[in-house]
Chains A and B, each alone.
Chain A
Amino acid sequence: MATMQAVRTGSAAGARRRRVSKRHQRRAILVFLGPFLTLFAVFYLVPIVYSVYQSLLKVERVGAFGAPREIFGGLAQYQQVFASEDFWASISRVLLFFCVSIPVQLGLALVFALLLDSAVPKWRRFFRLTFFAPYAVPGVIAALTWGFLYVPSLSPFPAVAENANLLGSGLVMFSIANVVNWVYTGYNMLIIYSALQAIPGELTEAARVDGAGQFRIAWSIKIPLVVPALILTGVFSIIGTLQLFNEPTVFRLFSNAVASNYTPNMIVYATSNIPNYHLAAAYSVVLALATCVLSFLFLKITQRRAFG
């Protein structure tokens, strides 16, 4: 409030200072939003529109090394996207990854959050920070660190790494999921934890008076009340999983079970490396739409269940 006041008085100079009309208010809003809207348009909207435009073009040329000529191609690129087995295989791979990784991740996040919420207050701050710390490690570094633990000849636990073949085609998905969970569990825990903090004290107190133990309170009161937060983290996880890129890309250094088309984003990257910008743009657009649709479906289904 104080800042609003300050700016309002600052922007309207002189005698008109006190006559804050609607027009001035609108101008103030524009002044505030201006920088954001400009950046949003330049770095968000324009690129999206441009990549949709790029995805509608195709290249035409004559001869073995004919110069490329860009012409309108309609949905030609999208035809290729939908015909690409690799792309759909990578989508189903990340969906499987989602099933492997996210229940564990969110389950752990919930357990940690509940523990924090009920633990002795003295340790709360310490554990909150400790659980969250991995999120501060850049994804690439995390993947490298775990990768070195997995490679038999480099691992400090060679017996485990050699016998389990953590980088073979059978287990590599779990190995990557482990890295992702390590990084993001703390992040999701914080979201759930803040939802737990918002639960009115009277509710838990009433339950306690009625004779409910900690476990009962968690199960019957706290968890149902943080379902919206769980759904939120679920949506983030869908988005994050579909866009998986860093971890599997780093794992290509260690494992020959991770192909260059392992995830949809890796396909986009490889395609733009060819360079085939038009097809890469089409992949991106389809991937973005698929992410939207899946997140929306997830919201619809879980909301009906949670609130219906």
Chain B
Amino acid sequence: MALYRIGRKLLATGAITSIALLTACSGGDTQETTAPAACAPAASGEKVTLTFSSWVPGMQKTVDLWNKQNPDIQVQYKEVVAGQRGTYQTYANQIKAGNAGDLGMVEFDSMPSFRLQDGLANIGACPGVQEGVKAFVPWTVSQVGFGEAGALYGVPQDIGPLALYYRKDLFEQNGIAVPKTWDEFYTAAKQVKAKGATITNFPPDASSYLAALAWQNGAKWFDNKNGTWTVSMTDDKTEQVAEYWQRMIDEKLVDSVPALTDTQFKALDTSREWSVVGAAWTAKLLENGSPATSGKWAVAPLPQWQAGQQASGNWGGSTTVVFKNSKHPAEAAKFALWAFGNLDALALNNANGGQFPATTAGESELPALNEPYPYFGGQVIWKTFQEAAPQVNQSWQWGPTMTQTFADLSDGLSAAVNGKGTVLDALTEAQKKTITTMKSQALQVAE
């Protein structure tokens, strides 16, 4: 019995101990930010070994190809769990302890947080980088450079431009036109409801989904000028999006279950939900999650706020960063540019990991992205995403404490779909808590 008790007691202090232990090796961080350091490659003939962690399935195969072609720069690959599931916490602790390795996968929205911890190397000055990034879709480059001239804190990996997945058969049978605008989408939602189904899901857990929809409408939640941050999660553009989905919730035109989990897939597979606003990476999930509806789907461009507009948002997507303490930033940058820019590498990433490339050439030239997709009735669905990719608004910025912002926003959205408060309330509250968190991180926030 005594053992159990001790076990329980130890668990009790676990929260304290784990935090303390993991940070125990660090001293006070006293480094100041410096201008992009010069980035010299290792002397020729010297053998360099890099470490790289990511959670893309099958990334090992891409690394193997690189290692075969580059005997002097060997990459040790480590597969880790998805960022928000623990890897970001590991990175943060490693950064504090000064042993974060060379390369790591970080989603776009989490990059600012790691930069804030002074964990990322600016590889803008590394040889070949400025030319190399020209191959990437422009908005992704401005994301990894934080809009600073000549700066680059990572290499884009993959992106998630939005489009509309819909049940072609059901829309056609019921004479519902494929919505080109959000107004038409609302009308379609009512028609679908009249048939006893719902048009789509509004997932309260996926804050990044709401962010993507606001992004499409030209919202800009975060900005920084002269060292001061502004948070505008309730600007006019976002408010329009929030009120739109609030109306959908109020009129019971949408489901509100966690995004792309068993519950939603069951609704899709039993034809209770007729469309999904999704990113490029959603295709594979649909195919696996809703097998009974194979061949009945199609993809259309994302509905627009004004007829004739061409704007998309981005949901998900990630980058490869070089950590600040890497001894070989030049080689690390070289590898990252190859792994997510070279067509052979991109083909592997797409085949094994389902990644939609962040380079224009990758999107248009990969054979796999030009093939008809049987699940979608033989449509070449990637064309739609290729067109959407450059339509993503370039000025969007992520905040420095997105883990907290997303958690608070999803708490508020969960309350909203339960009838306690509204989508706009959730945004207002998340903004308030974000400002508090940023201040507690000693950041200047304009109000």
Contact = CB atoms under 8 A, between A and B. Distances in A.
A70 B82 CA distance: 29
A89 to B, nearest CB: 12
A212 B229 CA distance: 77
Contacts, number: 156
Contacts of B31: 67
Given A47-B17, A153-B266, A236-B5, A64 B418 contact: no
Interface in B37-90: 88-89
Given A64-B229, A259-B414, 19 more contacts: A46-B24, A48-B16, A51-B16, A61-B441, A61-B443, A65-B115, A68-B117, A80-B440, A135-B4, A169-B418, A190-B1, A194-B1, A236-B5, A240-B8, A265-B15, A274-B113, A277-B23, A281-B19, A288-B16
A270 B407 contact: yes
Contacts of A275: 89, 92-93, 117
B89 A70 contact: no
Interface string A287-298: 110010000000
A47 B21 contact: yes
A67 B33 contact: yes
B354 interface: no
A53 B96 CA distance: 16
A260 interface: yes
A47 B442 contact: no
Nearest to B92: A275
A103 to B, nearest CB: 20
B408 interface: yes
Nearest to B433: A86
B12 A239 contact: yes
Contact of B23 (A54, A194, A288): A54
A257 B13 contact: no
Contact of A291 (B12, B92, B115, B205): B12
B172 interface: no
Interface of A: 43-44, 46-48, 50-51, 54, 58-70, 80, 135, 151, 153-154, 168-169, 187, 190-191, 194, 236, 239-240, 243, 245, 253, 256-257, 259-261, 265, 268-270, 272-277, 279-281, 284-285, 287-288, 291
Given A256-B417, A261-B411, A276-B437, A44 B8 contact: no
Interface residues of B, number: 66
Nearest to A187: B4
Contact of B404 (A153, A191, A265, A274): A274
A284 B400 CA distance: 24
B174 interface: no
Given A51-B20, A285-B16, A64 B442 contact: no
Given A68-B116, A80-B440, A279-B440, A154 B262 contact: yes
B173 interface: no
B442 A68 contact: yes
A150 B30 CA distance: 51
Given A68-B118, A256-B204, A276-B437, A281 B112 contact: no
A284 B204 contact: no
| Shortest 5 CB-CB contacts between residues of A and residues of B | A256-B414, A64-B224, A63-B227, A259-B411, A47-B20
Contacts of A276: 437, 440-441
Nearest to B24: A50
Given A68-B118, A273-B403, A168 B418 contact: yes
A260 B30 contact: no
Contact of B228 (A64, A67, A240, A265): A64
A277 B29 contact: no
B447 interface: no
A60 B442 contact: yes
A69 to B, nearest CB: 6
A61 B28 contact: no
Contacts of A272: 19, 89
Contacts of B443: 61, 64
Contact of A257 (B8, B32, B116, B414): B414
A276 to B, nearest CB: 6
B231 to A, nearest CB: 12
B401 interface: yes
A64 B442 CA distance: 10
A268 B17 contact: no
